[in-house]
């Protein structure tokens, strides 16, 4: 029997001993106080003054240290809001309660009633007069997190990470605060929050490989949502002029520090606006978020100093290629043989069936993206790689679209929406002709909806997980997801 199994066996024996004298896993204790409020409200009160007040508390949490000292015991009680020291004297509690201590382990959950006081060293402490057993930690907690073992535990057993690391708990509270701020920002701007289906008959709204599921009663395959775009546009067609959805979407792609197959984003759409409006509203959102989180305009992200001051830089797609590739000759950029040779010379991937414009996109993704550290809107994308975007009236080879990059990663994507059903049908058909598993499907019902008329509209999506990574200086998307996808251990 290994050491861990021995400890589990010992803890099970202690649980059986507890059962003889106490209710097993009772649910009658009601917590009235929490450690955070107690520290905030009473930590600065003088020792003598605190004793005069004789403040009674009723608190519950997990024991993460236990230190016996003869007829007295000190322990640290942790709850969601922090930790507080508890003190038990044999003479202050009944014999049954004190004997309970002999069967308690680090990790056990207890309820405490007592009176606040301060120790000789000035630490706020609860002088316990009653202790109630609530739940047993049959498995020993990891002593320390370090190295690879730390990462494995953090991601695979997030509950342990939350239990032991206050920083992790704080990060996910910040995540919740960011999402609430985003929601309030759009609601305040008179956007209507809506909900659209997560299972689609056709994978649409973006170019990505979908997850496939099966509906037994209908005996048909369905696709997990890769984006809510086409349904949100249907809302615009129906007469809702400003809508947003904070949504979970799914893309059947690899795992990496910036990719998780299940992710959170916000998409928002506004009738009678264009892509310039979208860039402005995203800049305003960043101002609100930095104020909400009490961040300055200069933030540090993974050793990069990033300036979030607005307005953000704006650069056209083809200008970004030549700016960050000095050897790329602008006059030959549409010559496929030249571009093919350039890609080979610079180790840029180029598939057999890639077009010249697809090669341009590969050059951008390989040599430009990673250099866009400060917030940068890249605009004027080729129409060929933007099947849902409206083309410029003056140049139908380019679209009214942008992508926002910060710290070398795409954070947002937005454009003036294509609302011409004839042109959209042509674009869908071109997508269907591609030999690409990430191609966009032809959505006949969406074309039908467009034929009823969609007003000029602007829409954008923001990757919330990547945004939270940026604002919390987190190196991996797994750090900001409570339960990230992991490869099986075996």
Confidence at 205, pLDDT banded by 50, 70, 90: confident
Across the chain, mean pLDDT equals 94
Percent pLDDT > 70 in the chain is 98
pLDDT exceeds 70 at position 392: yes
Cα torsion 95, 100, 103, 104: sign: negative
Q: Is the bond into 311 cis (omega within 30 degrees of 0)? A: yes
Q: In the chain, which residues fall in CATH 3.30.930.10?
A: 163-312+374-480
CA 13 to chain centre: 41
pLDDT of residue 416: 98
Which tens digit of pLDDT belongs to each residue from 37-77? Answer: 999 999 999 999 999 999 999 999 999 999 988 888 999 99
**Residue range 5-27: average pLDDT?**
93
- CATH of region 163-312+374-480, choose from 3.30.930.10, 3.50.50.60, 3.40.50.300, 3.40.1000.10: 3.30.930.10
For 388-409, the DSSP string reads TBPEETTEEEEEEEEEEEETTE
Which tens digit of pLDDT belongs to each residue from 69-105? Answer: 888 899 999 999 999 999 999 888 887 777 888 899 9
Please give the Cα distance from 261 to 30 (Å, whole number).
40
pLDDT of residue 479: 96
Q: Determine contact, residues 487/255, Cβ cutoff 8 Å.
A: yes
**Residue range 236-246: average pLDDT?**
98
Long-range Cβ pairs for the range 302-310 (8 Å, 24+): 302/407, 302/473, 302/475, 304/373, 304/407, 306/373, 306/374, 306/375, 306/406, 306/407, 306/470, 307/374, 307/375, 308/375, 310/283, 310/284, 310/286
Q: Determine contact, residues 102/62, Cβ cutoff 8 Å.
A: no
* Exposure string for 270-291, b = 16+ CB within 10 A, e = fewer: bbebbbeebbebbbebbeebbe
pLDDT exceeds 90 at position 290: yes
Q: In the chain, which residues fall in CATH 2.40.50.140?
A: 3-135
The secondary structure element, H or E, covering residue 457 is strand 457-463
Considering the domain delimited by 3-135, tell me its CATH architecture.
Beta Barrel (2.40)
Interior angle at CA 410, CA 407 and CA 415, nearest 5: 135
């Amino acid at each position: 029997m290994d050491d861990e199994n021995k400890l589990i066996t010992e803890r099970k024996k202690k649980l059986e001993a507890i059962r003889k004298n106490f209710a097993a896993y009772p649910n009658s204790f009601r917590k009235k106080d929490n450690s955070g409020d107690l520290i905030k409200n009473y930590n600065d009160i003088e020792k003598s003054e605190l004793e005069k007040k004789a403040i009674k508390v009723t608190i519950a949490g997990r024991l993460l240290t236990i230190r016996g000292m003869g007829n007295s015991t000190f322990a640290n009680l942790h709850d969601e809001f922090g930790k507080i020291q508890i003190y038990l004297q044999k003479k202050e509690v009944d014999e049954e309660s004190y004997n309970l201590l002999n069967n308690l382990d680090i990790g056990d959950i207890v309820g405490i009633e007592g009176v606040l006081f301060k120790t000789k060293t000035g630490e706020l402490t609860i002088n316990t007069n009653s202790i109630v057993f609530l739940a047993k930690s049959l498995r020993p907690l990891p002593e320390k997190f370090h190295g690879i073992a730390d990462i494995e535990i953090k991601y695979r057993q997030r509950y342990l990470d939350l239990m032991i690391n206050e920083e992790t708990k704080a990060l996910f509270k910040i995540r919740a605060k960011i999402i609430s701020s985003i929601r309030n920002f759009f609601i305040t701007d008179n956007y209507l929050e809506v909900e659209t289906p997560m299972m689609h008959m056709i994978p649409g709204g973006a170019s990505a490989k979908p997850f496939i599921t099966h509906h037994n009663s209908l005996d048909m395959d369905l696709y997990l949502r890769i984006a809510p775009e086409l349904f949100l546009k249907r809302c615009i067609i129906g007469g809702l002029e400003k809508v947003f959805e904070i949504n979970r979407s799914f893309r059947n792609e690899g795992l990496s520090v910036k990719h998780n197959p299940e992710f959170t984003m916000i998409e928002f759409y506004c009738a009678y606006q264009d892509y310039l409006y979208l860039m402005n509203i995203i800049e305003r959102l960043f101002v609100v978020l930095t104020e909400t989180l009490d961040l300055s305009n200069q933030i540090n992200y993974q050793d990069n100093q990033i300036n979030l001051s607005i307005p953000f830089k704006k650069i056209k797609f083809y200008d970004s290629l030549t700016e960050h590739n000095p050897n790329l000759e602008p006059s030959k950029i549409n010559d496929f043989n030249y571009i093919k040779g350039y890609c080979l010379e610079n180790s840029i991937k180029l598939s057999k069936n890639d077009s010249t414009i697809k090669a341009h996109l590969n050059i951008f993704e390989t040599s430009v993206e990673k250099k866009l550290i400060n917030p940068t809107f890249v605009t004027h994308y080729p129409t060929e790689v933007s099947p849902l975007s409206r083309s410029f009236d003056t140049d139908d080879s380019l679209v009214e679209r942008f992508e926002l990059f910060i710290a070398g990663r795409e954070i947002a994507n937005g454009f003036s929406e294509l609302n011409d059903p004839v042109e959209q049908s042509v674009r869908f058909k071109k997508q269907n002709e591609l030999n690409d598993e990430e191609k966009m499907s032809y959505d006949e019902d969406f074309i039908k909806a467009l034929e009823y008329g969609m007003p000029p509209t602007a829409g954008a999506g923001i990757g919330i997980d990547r945004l939270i990574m940026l604002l919390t200086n987190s190196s991996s998307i797994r750090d900001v997801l409570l339960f990230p996808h992991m490869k099986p251990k075996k």
